[in-house]
Amino acid sequence: MASEDLPVKMDGIVELELGKLLVKQLEDKFGDPTLTYPEGFQTKIQVPKSFAMQLHSFFIQSVFDQMEATFGSDTLDSLKAEDKEFSESLFGDEVDTSVAQEVHESLTSSNTITKRELRKKKKKQAAEYKDITPEDLAIEMMLDKLSEIFPLAEKESIMQMLQVYNYEEAVNSLLLVQFPTNPNIAHIKKSPLDEVLFKEIQGDFMKYKNELVLKQVCGEDYRKEAENYLQNRQNLYEKANYFKQKDQIKVAQFYSNLAAKQTLYYEQASARAVSAFLDANCKQSKNTLNLHFLRPAEATTAVDIFLDGNINSLRESDNKTKSQLQIVTGRGKHSPEGKAVLRPAVQSLLKARGLRFNLLNEGMISVKIRVNSKLSNELTELS
C-alpha cells in the first residue's frame, strides 16, 4: 500500500471509556479465552483523534440506519397501503349490491358498465368520507335509514327535513305523507346514531383530528410524537374494526379516516424528527456528513457544500494542510430493490472532484482533502 493510501494522521490523542460491556464483547470476539485479567483495571483506552472520529461516525450511521428502518419510506408506504385497503374493504358489500343493480339496469338499456368503472365507483365511495365531521356522519346515517324506509321520498327532500327538524320530527313528517316499508314505528323513530355513541364520536373527533402541539422541538420529542401517532392509529383502527363487525359501516369509515390522519401526522412528525437529528449531528461534528433520508440530487449538493466548507477551513488554518472526513451514505437497504443509491452517486461526485476516498463499510466513505483541493466553483471554472 502506498503511503498516500494510509489514513491521514490527525493531531491529538483522545481517551475513551469503553465500559465493561463493550470490553466483554471485544473479548468474546477477539480475546484469548485462556488469558485472565487482574481485577481493578479501568476500561479506558487512548486512541488517535481520527480513529475516535471514525468510531463516532460508525455510531451515527447505526443510529440513522435504525431511524430509516422506523421512519423510512417502506414503513410509510406499508401504513398508507393498509389505510387504503381497510377503507375500500368497508364498502365491498355495499358497492357490490349497488353495482349488481346497475349491471341489471345496464342490460336493459343502451348503457354499458365496465369493470373499470365499477372499481372506480368503489374507490370513489371509499374516498367520500375523508373529512366528515360527527354532525355530517349523523346526517348521513339518518338520511340512509329514512331513504330505505321511505323509498318514494326524494333524498333531497329528506335532507332538507333533517336540516330543519330533528330526527323524530322528520320521521313524523314523512309518516304523514308516506307508508313506511317497515311497520315497526318504534324502530323507525330510533335514531341510527344514539346520543351516547354520538358523544363518544364527538370526543374522539376532537381528540384525534389535529396534530399534537409540542413545547420542545428536539429530535427525541418528534420521535416520541411520531410513536404517539402510531399508537393513536392502532386505537382508532380497533374501533373501526369493532363497528365494522357490528355492520355500522359509516361509523367504521369515520374511525378509519381518523386513523388515516394519524398516518399523515406520523409522516410529518417523522420528517421533523429526522431533520432535527440531522441538524444536531451537523452541529456536533464538522468532519462527518450524514446523508440518510436525502435523495441523490439533494445528497450530492450537500456533499459539495460539506467539502467546500472543510476545504475553506483548511485554507484559513495556519497549521493544517490536510484532513480526513467521513460521509455516511447508509447501506441502501430501504432503497428501491434494496440497492444503494446514494453511495454510487457520492462516489461519482468524489471521483469527478479528484478526491481520494475509500469505503470504511457499505454505508460510510472516508474522504481525504488537502489545502489545495479544488472547490466546486473552481472545478466549474476549469471545465
CA distance 240 to 254: 8
* Residues above pLDDT 70, as percent of the chain: 76
The C-alpha cell at 335 is 432503497
Which pairs with CB-CB distance under 8 Å and at least 24 residues apart come from 196-204? 197/251, 198/134, 198/138, 201/134, 201/137, 201/251, 201/254, 202/134, 204/236, 204/239, 204/255, 204/258
For the entire predicted model, the pTM comes to 0.59
Q: What is the pLDDT of residues 192-236, one digit of tens each?
A: 999 999 999 999 999 998 877 766 667 778 888 888 999 999 999
Q: Is pLDDT above 90 for 167?
A: yes
Q: How many CA atoms lie within 13 A of 81 on its CB side?
A: 6
Taking 3-state DSSP, the helix, strand and coil percentages for the chain, each rounded to the nearest 5, stand at 65, 10, 25
Residue 273 and residue 219 in contact, taking contact as beta carbons nearer than 8 Å: yes
The answer to whether residues 71 and 270 touch, using CB atoms and an 8 Å cutoff, is yes
Element (H, E) at 290: strand 288-290
Rounded to whole angstroms, the Cα distance separating 78 from 144 reads: 33
pLDDT per residue over 106-153, tens digit each? Answer: 444 445 555 556 556 555 555 555 678 999 999 999 999 999 999 999
